[in-house]
Amino acid sequence: MPDKLLDLAKRNGINLMFWDFQPPIEAIYYYYPGKNPVIGIDRKLKNNIKNFRCILAEELGHFFTTDQGNMVSHYHLHDKIQIYREEYKAMKWAVNYLIPDEELEIAFNTMSPWELEDYFQVNSDFMAFKLKLYKDKLLTYLT
């Protein structure tokens, strides 16, 4: 289990629960005003540490990046755009938390690119997202 992420959830009063979700759902973040937030994770993920870490980090990202008073209850086009923004912010928080730029730079200099996923204990989609963010950051510095 990713102890650092679990400790982070506990310190912030987030309840972690394991459920049996039906694919494609693997996890959910839920907040109701006046109550502790809940992260529900598919119990099958406990068997895959990389995916578990990535999904838990992304759900924690919702806690740290989403306006807790903003619960979307209707699904109009504007709401869908807002949901995509919130998902992007949560994912960005998650990859930056699990793969800090400083550690990524050190890893680039000490190992081959195909070893990065194992080193950071993340899945390939997560690593690809981080590398795109890092590339975009480098391009911004160059221009």
* Whole-number pLDDT of residue 14: 97
Q: How confident is the model at residue 38 (pLDDT cuts 50, 70, 90)?
A: very high
* Cα–Cα distance measured from residue 56 to residue 41, given in angstroms and rounded to the nearest whole number: 8
* Cα–Cα distance measured from residue 135 to residue 41, given in angstroms and rounded to the nearest whole number: 31
Number of structural domains (the chain) is 1
Burial class (CB in 10 A: 0-12, 13-18, 19+), 131: middle
Residue 115 CB: number of other CB atoms within 10 A?
11
Query: Which pTM does this prediction carry?
Result: 0.89
Domain that residue 30 falls in: 3-142
Nearest to 127 by CA among 106, 102, 103, 98: 98
